[in-house]
Structure 1
């Protein structure tokens, strides 16, 4: 059974998400939040910690494409209550780890090197080859007492080498050095198993719908 979703945590996560992506900060919209993403394929996103009349009113009133509605419940909870103009996106999973991660003692292979960067309160770990070919990357933003991990990814031909786990380990070192022990992220279906192996647990389903002009891949 899904636990009650904290609106405060959702706000902190969304702020971290926005800082990581160098976007305008979220602001309250009725019982939820809005971010003006200003991208061709994502003009804005509305995020709700739970279903509400505000969510359904938005779903009814919006006809413009590429405005996303996002809510912390499964699609089955509302699919019969919104118009068929809305298209379901790949399932997201909000996950938490409120303790040190269960990360094995791993070292970076000699063919790779690590690079550091920071901006907008965001810390970046990047793994590249000795020839400076990008291999893996991850970001973490600290918002108050919460560390928000974002855009953890590995290039296809560098997968299954433990790079994403190493990135998470290095990001966690930064977080622990700041005295933070609460970690939060949104995983894709593909990434969920990695985080579970590191000790993360499911916090909430995270469901997105949009009115596309073509098949959405966001």
Structure 2
């Protein structure tokens, strides 16, 4: 795993796809990273940094609102070590890229798969026989990257192969099959994706301001 950051172009391309999937503004270069002005009640903006740099340190010294998030393609300890007091750091996530292989999903005969494409955004919903939502996921696609986002399976329907079915359905709806596929995974998700041939580009850590 690369603990010294990742290629900025890779991060930017992924963020462009993620912003499409989340219906938020596109990222802009800022302070050596990329800023996304999410503009929600819970989050005003987030900065994603491919590596530690002076801009990240300067921002951390100037921001004092928990609705501004600082993200780093790096380990939590690395991010924690350069922040002033008042910031809380969480790790446990990983920035990953596909090997390019196709997802192979077993049939899910007891479920219905619904795939909806709206321009550059793909949404997949898997419904149980009673009509309840069993699993879902989204992707945002640009000519430079295919970003998977919010892949989730309801607790009552786990271990049925539905997560893989969601990924396969999203992948099958691509318009640019040769573009890199990227996502941010949890520790559990990372193990699954690595078994499918994905590789970890870096750890992915988050800092939130918690006290003055």
Q: Structure 2 length as normaliser, TM-score?
A: 0.91
| Aligned equivalent of 1:179 | 177
Distance 1:46 1:186 in 2: 15
| Aligned equivalent of 1:210 | 208
Shift of 1:26: 1.2
CA-based RMSD of the aligned residues comes to 1.8
Count residues in correspondence: 210
The answer to whether the Cα contact below 8 Å between 1:116 and 1:126 also exists between their aligned partners in 2 is yes
| Aligned equivalent of 1:216 | none
The answer to whether the Cα contact below 8 Å between 2:18 and 2:139 also exists between their aligned partners in 1 is no
Matches of residues 59-208 of structure 1 in structure 2 within 5 Å? 59-101=60-102, 103-104=103-104, 106-109=106-109, 111-119=110-118, 121-175=120-174, 178-208=176-206
The answer to whether the Cα contact below 8 Å between 1:22 and 1:120 also exists between their aligned partners in 2 is no
Distance 2:129 2:83 in 1: 51
Distance 1:32 1:50 in 2: 8
Distance 2:119 2:64 in 1: 33
The answer to whether the Cα contact below 8 Å between 2:31 and 2:56 also exists between their aligned partners in 1 is no
The answer to whether the Cα contact below 8 Å between 2:80 and 2:89 also exists between their aligned partners in 1 is no
The answer to whether the Cα contact below 8 Å between 2:35 and 2:45 also exists between their aligned partners in 1 is yes
Shift of 1:188: 1.4
Distance 2:105 2:89 in 1: 39
Query: What do residues 102-136 of structure 1 show as CA deviations (whole Å, max 9, x unaligned)?
Result: x4451112x21011212351111110013221000
Extract unaligned runs of 5+ from structure 1: 214-218
Shift of 1:5: 1.0
Over 3 Å off, 4+ runs: none
The answer to whether the Cα contact below 8 Å between 2:19 and 2:140 also exists between their aligned partners in 1 is no
Extract unaligned runs of 5+ from structure 2: none
Q: Structure 1 length as normaliser, TM-score?
A: 0.89
Q: Helix, strand or coil: the match of 2:167? A: helix
